[in-house]
Copies of this chain bind each other. A is one copy, B any other.
Amino acid sequence: MGSPHVDVYAVIMAGGSGTRFWPASRERAPKQFLPLGGREGEPLLASTVRRLAPIVPPERVIIATGAHLAGAVASAVPDVPRANVLCEPVARNTAPCIAWATRTIAKRAGDSALVAVFPSDHFIADEPGFLAVVDRALAAARRDYLATIGIVPTRPETGYGYIELGADIGDGARAVARFVEKPDRARAEEYVAGKRHLWNAGMFFFRAGVMEAAVKRHVPEIPRLLAEDPFDAAFAKMPSVSIDHGVMEKADRLAVVPGEFGWNDVGSWQATWELARKDAQDNALPQGSVAVDSRGNLAWDGTSSPGKKRFALVGVSDLVLVETDDAILVIPRERAQDVRAVVDELKRRGEKERL
């Protein structure tokens, strides 16, 4: 547990874009490059790599990202060799991405190499607990399962897919009865009460050859296009399909390991507030801020000179205040998702430099 496995490679998917952290996140600096997870100054991507280091050293970490993000990756995780950064010429969802990374690993270490796939932009509170669960999932992968981790749900969330538990297959793993689409509220409440459904957190564990066979069977155009030249033109023809829909939901011999390790997908400023260190009035503010009669606020200094600007809040509660060099956002925490409306408006105006 936590000990090195010489044959384990990690694939970290760092190609995501998104608008939910505007104005701090931008097209060239999306969420995974921001220190949103509560660790002072550490981008989520860097946290993801660091957290895996006890079982996968940086030399065996493959980062899959977009070509426009290569520089940001190099800055965020300088220990990962440049040759390990796979830059997708265009974004084509997770199935082509994982297939390409798996092909790369198979060429380097053979079909039997173990591969562990992780999103780059999630937070995990209990890192030793996480590594223990990863170890169990890798054990299932060694037995030629396509394995995943299912997060034990803590609320009736309607924004995630669920995994229904099947039979016990030993080593702390269960078979997957089925993958379930995002449920409505009533069904999500049933899932939480029933204790047979886990959240799908987008983590996958497999031998390279097992995944390649499954992809070839269920989305055969992916391996065909991966073999074509020129690569960029071929990749652009990839079907935009997720590994869940394209492969996992159709594959046999699926395993899931339940996990409880303080997982958070950091979905909005609300999550950042939840994860942040807060003062006695539940404010999460930059050092040196002045708060008077104010509770439950998040202020975020995303300027290029952090600490230069003094934040002063008087008589306000449950607000999010985000400051960057060229924009400032004020929004109630409970409406944090609606920052999308601002991004839509800036797009409509053609203010590309602020997107």
Contacts and interface: CB of A to CB of B under 8 A. Distances in A.
B328 A342 contact: no
21 contacts: A23-B310, A23-B312, A290-B345, A290-B346, A292-B338, A308-B326, A309-B325, A309-B327, A309-B328, A310-B326, A310-B346, A310-B354, A312-B328, A312-B342, A313-B330, A313-B331, A314-B330, A314-B331, A314-B341, A315-B335, A330-B330
Contact of A335 (B314, B321, B346): B314
Contacts of A354: 310
A191 B203 CA distance: 74
Given A314-B339, A314-B341, A315-B331, 4 more contacts: A290-B342, A310-B346, A314-B329, A314-B342
A213 to B, nearest CB: 48
A351 interface: yes
A225 B293 CA distance: 47
Interface residues of A, number: 33
B316 A321 contact: no
A212 interface: no
B330 A321 contact: yes
Interface in A258-313: 290, 292-293, 308-313
Contacts of A290: 342, 345-346
A323 interface: yes
Q: Which 3 A-B pairs have the closest CB atoms?
A: A314-B331, A310-B327, A312-B342
A319 interface: yes
A329 to B, nearest CB: 5
A239 interface: no
Given A292-B341, A342-B314, A330 B319 contact: yes
A328 B309 CA distance: 7
A166 interface: no
B319 A328 contact: no
A304 to B, nearest CB: 13
